[in-house]
Structure 1
Amino acid sequence: MGNIIKTLDVTDSLTGLKDVCDLENGRIAGKIFYDQEIYEQELEKVFARCWLFVAHESQIPKTGDYITTSMGEDEVIVIRQKSGGIKVFLNACPHRGNKVCFAESGSTRGFICNYHGWSFNVEGNLVGQHESGVYEDSNFDKSKWGLKEVAQVDSYKGLVFATFDANAPSLKEYLGPIAWYMDALFDNQEGGTEFVGGCIRSTYECNWKIAAENFVGDILHAGWTHDSAARAMLGGSVAKVSDFEESYSVNWNGHGYEFALDTVGNVAVLGESALNKYLHTIKPSVAERLGDFRSNMIGSVSSCTIFPNFSFLPGQNTVRVWQPRGPNKMELFTWVVVNKSAPEEVKEKWRKGAMMTFSPTGVFEMDDGENWEYCTKTAKGRVTAQQDLFVGLGMDTLLTDTPLPANVYEGQLNEANSRAFYQYWYDMLNSRSWNEVPDRNVGKQEAE
């Protein structure tokens, strides 16, 4: 049967990291976006230990349905089992390590390696080989040579996550109170959500952290970077985030969600009045399901990153994973998420809206990509890499008397979530085990 990866060898902490990451004083250095040693430590201590998004359940509804993706730089297969459960295997034959599945998605009864004909069923068991008779005289035990399984797989509201680390906390613990906010997109209607269309894949010459941090709480760039595109989509002026009467930045263990309570600000820039109408139509039922507060979040000006590299945009309804491909390169996987119960014409408008805005040729994506690439490229300079970069906006805006869960900060124009993201990144790189990761949370686990 498939062998589960149970242990991970973790090296000592990086030396000198404090010199390039000082969150107490709102400072990081460009070196963290280009240093090869730091990147190698990220693969080991972040991507090989944290829970990573690998699929949506709607992508693999039937036995044998699968997709291929990555966990860090490790390629994996996510496949539906006969039992209805989901397994995640390394996409590597245990004979010589050749890739066993080259398709991005499909349905199968098993996988066969091109090199020596080793074949595996959907449970990951080794069931045959080319010239199988030669193995019989070598005391060969098939049960020990199945596809390697990741240590843990779990899902939340249709989102499937996996981790290589058997000692990682449960997914519920890992998400913590941020899950309460995630429900505004992924659980606002009976029946949940689904992905529509295929996966949009693109490559950028930038560090993965630049993009992840952009979504964790950097609404500050939107009114400048995306101003002309937003005006074109809306046909006129764009509201200033600073004009919103109520907005927040919330974080927990590196996860961050920034949002206003304007209901449809994000969806409006898709230029589809039918989507605005749809959100206003379902808002009363969302209020019954999730309460008035979260019913105002469903399509609002907002964004979220679940540490380390899973992000989404409510309203624009794009879900994205920033896959590391080196310190100065990443591959972006993007999907469109919709309510299963939404009318088909609404789903199609969301799909087309995503193509127009957040795709390789989208009016917003091109803006971001250029900025992210130059943030990374300038960090390559020997002197520039040591330059202090400011992340100190909103240092004294923590709300201590709010009924909301997690660490809650006043306003979206705030770098509290960015600091929390980099602090957790720093803590993971300086910890040999999960028990050593400091608890820096001051907020509540549950909403009042």
Structure 2
Amino acid sequence: MANRIKTIDITDALPDIDDFCDIPNARISGEIFHRQDIYEQELEKIFARCWLFVGHESQFKKAGDYITTTMGEDDVIIVRQKNGSHKAFINACPHRGNKVCFSESGNARGFICNYHGWSFNIEGNLIGQHESGIYESSQFDASKWGLREVAQIDSYKGLIFATFDAQAPSLEEYLGPMTWYLDALFDNQEGGTEFVGGCIRSTMDCNWKIAAENFVGDILHAGWTHDSAARAMLGGAVSKVSDFEESYSVNWNGHGYEFALDTVGNVAVLGESALNKYLHTIKPSVIDRLGEFRANMIGSVSSCTIFPNFSFLPGQNTVRIWQPRGPNKIELFTWVVVNKTAPEDIKEKWRKGAMITFSPTGVFEMDDGENWEYCTKTARGRVTSQQDLFVGLGMDTYLEETDLPANVYSGQLNEANSRAFYQYWGDLLKSPSWDAMPNNNKGKAKAGPKASQISDKTDGIGEK
């Protein structure tokens, strides 16, 4: 069914965003992390318009399999259809708005509201109500009162995204050339990936942007914030990121991926030598599939955020969503992703490794959580929030001549991805429609070179 929902235009309530986000001069304001009026605009202009990660195809094995999640602060149900496709619905009965599904996941023939007994099939159609006869005398048309379907849903290499905006660009266009890099984790083996071990949920008293920006390109913090934890996991000395001969920061439309080409740097801190061995064992087949360049990315020191709030760590293989719950709080959803073809004992080691490192009691997550919470708390200070925050590392590191796709910068110790993240954030808040969005990309929009065209000996620049 087609629902017509009126939205509130609160553009007039928002001060000039350029006062808070001045990327050419490498500054942002701490006010963007606590102001309620800015947060309300984010829900309207970002989370109600952008493509958001909502699940993985491996979570839906048969018709009727579902998960519940959120898109911004809107509760949604993702459910597999009889034809193998997926649909996304607002998790709210169109009678009085009560939830129709309270479980995080399961299998169902339909969903029933426990308020007045309205029931819906997995296609979202209203198929019955308690005391259904009374509706017949009310000129009631059940076909108009099904669950509200999310405007668009699509997937890439097992990753399912959805958007409330029917006018949003396609998922392919939204992700752009970043898919070339995503394949290093999500398509390095035949058969793709799967989630294992369920969802880890936790909360943090921080702004969602601080966490998302950390993963979009802030490797700088790792050598300081995580030094003691990394030493404990590795049992000794830790290599400095600045020691890597070759590393990059790449971005496109707010998405960002920073990475070295060390193959196993991230996986090593899980403390499981078997995982290092596994990545080296599959590397020849990854070279055949993706080329040497991306084969060196598979478990390297790296991180990525797909704008606005979907992040992952290759090697450590945690996938997470920073779900906004007001300007000063997030709910964190975390999964472990593995190759489907990996041996079961390897999958289990990754699951346990994630629990030790990136979970509510993980040695790295506690470090991050404390920093992010205090960054958010200090932003509430009336005077403190008005000071400029610096995002200017690597201002002159853009690579003009490269075969790599997207906007490419040399080095991981670089804030190019952070600047791109906040630039896109600001552009969305200022733009009334997708057509009005400016194009701040300078790099190649098409997919990157074929597997045979880039090797680890070319620095990713020029032809082999």
TM class by smaller structure: over 0.9
| Residue 233 in structure 1 maps to residue 233 in structure 2 | yes
Q: CA deviation at 1:60?
A: 1.1
Q: Distance in 1 between the 2:63 and 2:3 partners?
A: 21
Alignment partner of 1:404: what SS?
Answer: coil
2:87 is aligned with what amino acid?
K
Q: 1:397 to 1:332 in 2, by over 3 A?
A: same
| Equivalent in the alignment of 2:151 | 151
Superposition map of 1:254-333 within 5 A: 254-333=254-333
Q: Does the CA-based 8 Å contact 2:11-2:41 persist in structure 1?
A: no
Q: CA deviation at 1:6?
A: 8.1
| Equivalent in the alignment of 1:418 | 418
| Equivalent in the alignment of 2:461 | none
| Equivalent in the alignment of 2:253 | 253
2:382 is aligned with what amino acid?
R
| Equivalent in the alignment of 1:87 | 87
The one-character-per-residue Cα deviations of 1:242-299 (angstroms, maximum 9, x if unpaired) are 0000000000000000000000000000000000000000001001001111000000
Q: CA deviation at 1:15?
A: 2.5
| Equivalent in the alignment of 2:455 | none
| Equivalent in the alignment of 2:11 | 12
The one-character-per-residue Cα deviations of 1:91-122 (angstroms, maximum 9, x if unpaired) are 00000000110000000000000100000000
| Residue 129 in structure 1 maps to residue 129 in structure 2 | yes
Q: Distance in 2 between the 1:391 and 1:276 partners?
A: 34
Q: 1:53 to 1:7 in 2, by over 3 A?
A: farther
Alignment partner of 1:178: what SS?
Answer: helix
Alignment partner of 2:220: what SS?
Answer: helix
Q: CA deviation at 1:11?
A: 4.1
Q: 1:370 to 1:164 in 2, by over 3 A?
A: same
Q: CA deviation at 1:352?
A: 0.2
Q: Distance in 1 between the 2:98 and 2:72 partners?
A: 18
Q: 1:6 to 1:168 in 2, by over 3 A?
A: farther
Q: Does the CA-based 8 Å contact 1:212-1:308 persist in structure 2?
A: yes
Q: 1:138 to 1:199 in 2, by over 3 A?
A: same
| Equivalent in the alignment of 2:215 | 215
Alignment partner of 1:176: what SS?
Answer: helix
Superposition map of 1:32-43 within 5 A: 32-43=32-43
Alignment partner of 1:349: what SS?
Answer: helix
The one-character-per-residue Cα deviations of 1:365-407 (angstroms, maximum 9, x if unpaired) are 0000000000000000000110110000000100000110000
Alignment partner of 2:11: what SS?
Answer: coil
1:86 is aligned with what amino acid?
H
Q: Does the CA-based 8 Å contact 1:265-1:299 persist in structure 2?
A: yes
Q: CA deviation at 1:3?
A: 3.5
| Residue 369 in structure 1 maps to residue 369 in structure 2 | yes
Q: CA deviation at 1:138?
A: 1.1
Alignment partner of 2:258: what SS?
Answer: strand
State the number of aligned residues.
447
| Equivalent in the alignment of 2:184 | 184
Q: Distance in 2 between the 1:442 and 1:226 partners?
A: 33
Q: CA deviation at 1:9?
A: 5.8
1:152 is aligned with what amino acid?
Q
| Equivalent in the alignment of 2:72 | 72
Identity %: 80
Q: Distance in 1 between the 2:168 and 2:336 partners?
A: 29
Q: Distance in 2 between the 1:60 and 1:16 partners?
A: 44
Q: CA deviation at 1:139?
A: 1.2
| Equivalent in the alignment of 1:383 | 383
Q: Does the CA-based 8 Å contact 1:4-1:151 persist in structure 2?
A: no
The one-character-per-residue Cα deviations of 1:305-359 (angstroms, maximum 9, x if unpaired) are 0000000000000000000000000000000000000000000000000000000
1:160 is aligned with what amino acid?
I
Q: CA deviation at 1:4?
A: 5.7
Q: CA deviation at 1:10?
A: 4.5
Q: Does the CA-based 8 Å contact 1:3-1:145 persist in structure 2?
A: no
Q: 1:296 to 1:377 in 2, by over 3 A?
A: same
| Equivalent in the alignment of 2:434 | 434
Unaligned runs of 5+ in 1: none
TM-align CA RMSD: 1.0
Q: Distance in 1 between the 2:9 and 2:87 partners?
A: 25
Q: Does the CA-based 8 Å contact 1:10-1:45 persist in structure 2?
A: no
Q: Distance in 2 between the 1:435 and 1:3 partners?
A: 24
Q: Distance in 2 between the 1:37 and 1:437 partners?
A: 21
